[in-house]
Chain A
């Protein structure tokens, strides 16, 4: 890995964590509307962000409620969905993996810990994720692909 890639990944991680921690009360409620989850569309246009989101999520989860499990499973869910997002054929489908993967993994985790019905917990997670990924993520992706921003970022 070259140094430039390392620093880019680190800064993407820092953005994710800063947005999650900065907007904390919204992020850690049961209906998780993590504004930072909008960034999960980025792997579609920037492959570096796959690892960046994973690390950012791990750091942010260190300070969330559920502890080690959230760090491991939450970050793993982000890693898997970031890989899938990078492979999506159109940008309309790019926000789909973060919604689906998180709903299944985090939903299952919650339902297991609290011994609650899976559809309830998965549904809650999915609602928050749809909010962040489709309402904010998709417009963000449009803007990045349409304008000169991506070109500028790639030059760095």
Chain B
């Protein structure tokens, strides 16, 4: 039932995008998404598409990985495009029974489809070129300014890092418990949805007990090494902005400016 999983889709590389600081990448993705929602005409969508293709080329990662991300959302994309094709009022182009495809519908459908595909693809760029740990570090540093209003930035990042480290362990453990319960006659694969849901309970209970035992061991190990939270801690890998990051930020801000321009002026 459980398949082999890879945590994080990180593909190692040395491309320009790989070398960017994770903070810079996270901020850029946010700005990119604002731009994606600002554009609303052909010129706008076309320029976003071109810009995105350029970034994808820069990562040097095979397009196959990007298609994987899109494949997961294929049903939603088709549903969206279809709904817009038929539901937008306007000049009728073709009629299938009671349903009519309109010119405006085709345009709107293509726009929304493009928007969804780009949303997925650009996030893939972030997760394909950044390790989960670098991403967590980036999030911690970006949250630092919010410490004053009580956001526990260091603790949150610490918890994320520990969680990331234990996901593979727990997946393995889930698999083991499943096999152990199956050997005792548990049935996870047949029956209706209620029976299946109930069958998962003998799985979740030992999983919890095991996890809490690990949490206890880990707490003891951390205490023994005098862990005292974020104050005065140093890092093995320090994040530093380079000139590359500054250039990337300038490019993305100019791009946002251009998107606003296409909406307001053109």
Please report A residues at the B interface, Cβ cutoff 8 Å: 1, 3-4, 6-15, 17-19, 21-24, 28-30, 35, 38, 51-52, 55-56, 58-59, 62-63, 65-69, 110, 113-116, 131, 135-136, 139-140, 143, 149, 152-153, 156
Interface size class of B (residues with CB under 8 A): 35 or more
Separation of A47 and B222 alpha carbons in the complex (Å): 22
Shortest Cβ-Cβ A-B pairs, 7 listed: A67-B123, A10-B162, A13-B163, A14-B166, A18-B170, A7-B215, A136-B197
A-B contact pairs, 24 of them (CB 8 A): A3-B227, A4-B216, A7-B162, A7-B218, A7-B222, A10-B215, A10-B218, A11-B211, A12-B211, A14-B169, A15-B170, A17-B163, A17-B167, A18-B166, A22-B174, A38-B200, A55-B163, A59-B164, A65-B72, A65-B120, A67-B126, A114-B76, A135-B194, A136-B200
Chain B interface, DSSP helix/strand/loop, else mixed: helix
Asked if A30 meets B75 with Cβ closer than 8 Å, knowing A13-B160, A140-B201, the reply is yes
User: Is the CB–CB distance between A143 and B122 below 8 Å?
Assistant: no
B60 at the interface (CB under 8 A from A): no
Separation of A14 and B171 alpha carbons in the complex (Å): 9
Shortest Cβ distance from residue A16 to the other chain B in the assembled complex, whole angstroms: 8
Q: Which residues of B contact A149 (CB under 8 A)?
A: 205, 208-209
Asked if A143 meets B205 with Cβ closer than 8 Å, knowing A22-B171, A56-B163, A59-B160, the reply is yes
User: Is the CB–CB distance between A14 and B76 below 8 Å?
Assistant: no
Asked if A143 meets B174 with Cβ closer than 8 Å, knowing A51-B159, A59-B164, A114-B116, the reply is no
